[in-house]
Structure 1
Amino acid sequence: MAKLYFRYGAMNSGKSTALLQAAFNYEERGQHVLLAKPEIDTKGADQISSRLGVERKVDFLIGPEDDARALFAEHRRRVQFEADAALVPDTRTDVACLLIDEAQFLVPDQIDDLLRIAVNDGIPVLAYGIRTDFQTRAFPGSARLMELAHSLEELKTICRCGSKALFNARLVGGRFVFDGDQVAIDELSADRVTYESMCARCYLRESGGRLR
């Protein structure tokens, strides 16, 4: 049975790089993949970009009201049609894997759709994202992935002090902030929103002991 995987980590833990590497590995073996990300992630528009400078256009964006399984089915049919029309011998004519970037921004119903794609449609789904927001609260999409995913894998990165980073601190204009909307896409705001991955000790030091 195909599985739903959630690969998560703090900011700058190489999630997008790992996704693009997974896509390359499938395609190197002659298999087809589909890449998607939530529409709310306006950074990079319709591109998935890694810190190493590698980028790739997604096959489709998922809006907050979209049926993720129906969108996948539509693009799966396209892949099957194009592969069959190419008449290339010994190539797989179906999608081998669906890869989702910034999965924390999906709504819980869309995470349910990802499970159905894996279990009912037989296509493995690799979802990459962060677990908690800048106030240490789980994103709804990440919380649902934690509940449903067959496999959970943490991608690790380090804090400024060298310890394992656990949290994602938000800075506005270079200053740490601990109040505000859950979603603020980095580097696209007029106030220059950025994030820093931090261990629990450094996060508590900057927040004055606050965790939410």
Structure 2
Amino acid sequence: MSDAVHVKICGLTDPDNVQAAVAAGARYVGFVFFPKSPRNVTFAQARALALCVPEGVAKVALTVDADDDMLHALTQEVPLDMLQLHGHETPARVTALRQRFGLPVMKAVGVAGPEDLAALDAYGKVADQLLVDAKPSADAMLPGGNGLSFDWRLIAGRRWACPWMLAGGLDAENVAAAIRLTGARQVDVSSGVEIAPGKKDAARINAFISAAQSATNTFPV
């Protein structure tokens, strides 16, 4: 991976903000397929958005405990580069989906305390990437995109068997500090670049990517 921090803008719902993310230098764009989310898109909407994305920017589908039929329909209709699993999928499920659909799989793992780090080790052995996110509360409606962060010191300088991405409560004001503290080379943002739930803002996207890419990482790559 290059020295530049790679940024993923997740939960995109309209072409203007897809273009804003791409123009600002995002390396990943994410589309949410979870009806409870204010960022949820249909397959048809996602296909139209994905066709706006140039080569070299990865198109990521966020799903939550999706079954094979849903994933088959999704991957048939929407041109994708990666699946992001944000539910309770087991390591065996991650392995099975990689084999069945032939796409790289990113597995989200929620972190609240030291007891959650073992899951990162386990999923890091089977996934293509890890998304290290804040663990939602027990009564949360959404598995992610809640604007919550966690104690970044828990993962400071840690590495796993695959590349990883930091998420959870990031915005333009704190992303540089998060990168410095954790050694992250990739970061993910959704609510941190919104003016309302599900409504991204081009200026906030620009500010976030600029802050992330200008951050100084004190850990070895």
**TM bracket (short chain):** 0.3 to 0.5
TM-score by length of 1: 0.35
Structure with higher RCO (Cα < 8 A, 6+ apart): 1
In terms of Rg, which structure is larger? 1
- Report the structure, 1 or 2, having the larger helix content: 2
